[in-house]
Amino acid sequence: MPSATGFRQTMKGLAAAAGAIFGSAKPPDASTKKEVRIGIALGGGFARGAAHIGVLRVLERNKIPIHCIAGVSAGAIVASAYASGSTLDETERLARAMRFKDVAGWSINILGLANSDRMDKFLDRALRVHRFEEMPIRLAIVASDLGNGRPIIFRDTGDVKNPIRASCSYPGLFQPVRLNGRLLVDGAITMDLPAEPLHSMGATHVIAVSLPTPLEVTDPGNLLGVVNRCFQILQRRTEEEWRKYSTLVLEPDVARVSWDGFEQASEMIAAGEAAAEAALPVIKGWMKSGHV
């Protein structure tokens, strides 16, 4: 019969062998969990883009930290202004005073009716810094390559203003922007809402702000209205693509505002605030958990 000492040594050996085979039953290491990082994706909508200011104001007021932000078309302007460190009050003042002539000059060309040269000075007022690497908040701008039909994502380094101009170059209205050997147009053509790039920038949760359009239009009014309505219909058919990358979708009630309704900025900002306020319980729930 083995001694007590021999028995204890045998049991220790068996325990060590079992540990080597099956592994230890340690609880999950909390350090391996990801910290909540919120990314904001801002869609296009011409004048309706003022609603984005209201959304950002509610998040800022409630101390919701934003890890990164991305935009297309009008959303690119608001996203860039915010990422650059401009205050929302400053951006709101610009939005209230903004008119089409501030960013476009009629210059009929076989590629478009207007150029966006004036947008350069407008962006000088809207942005505090003009390079991606200088942005206090990580920023991505999406434009569309007219040659290969793919989205071009600008981020991390380089000039910001030309990518914004490209992202806002609505086909037919604005002449395309030639940049780095490519002919670029409105980012919303290939990526209606830039939710996907935010994940590669470190976001664990993406809030997508979509600016709704009318479900039905009886009279588009003019040539630009016809083109605009055609794009609205096409973009509804691609909605599923960007939604699958979005944790939460906000839709400010701005569908009744026309594409050039710049004078209704106050109404659109209020709509953005209302949409964000309604979503606050969900967003605060993410922050309360702290990790994903």
pLDDT tens, residue by residue, 48-76: 899 999 999 999 999 999 999 999 999 99
Which residue is listed with tokens 């900025």? 265
Q: Which residue in the list 73, 84, 86, 169 is annotated as catalytic?
A: 73
For the cut 60, the answer to whether the pLDDT of residue 27 exceeds it is no
Q: Token pair for residue 97?
A: 């005073």
For the cut 90, the answer to whether the pLDDT of residue 118 exceeds it is no
188 with 177: CB under 8 angstroms? no
Least confident of 18-32, 76-90, 143-157: 18-32
Strands 177-179 vs 182-185: parallel, antiparallel or unpaired: antiparallel
Q: Token pair for residue 91?
A: 């951006």
Q: Which residue in the list 80, 167, 186, 246 is annotated as catalytic?
A: 186
Distance between CA 216 and CA 236 in Å, rounded? Answer: 12
Q: Looking at this protein, which amino acid is placed at residue 287?
A: M
For the cut 50, the answer to whether the pLDDT of residue 214 exceeds it is yes
The proportion of the chain whose per-residue pLDDT surpasses 90, expressed as a percent, equals 58
pTM score: 0.83
For residue 31, give every residue at least 6 positions away whose Cβ sits within 8 Å of its Cβ, in sequence order, or none: none
What pLDDT was estimated at residue 74? 93
Say whether 253 is catalytic.
no
Task: Report residue 230's pLDDT band, with 50, 70 and 90 as the boundaries.
Answer: low
Say whether 120 is catalytic.
no
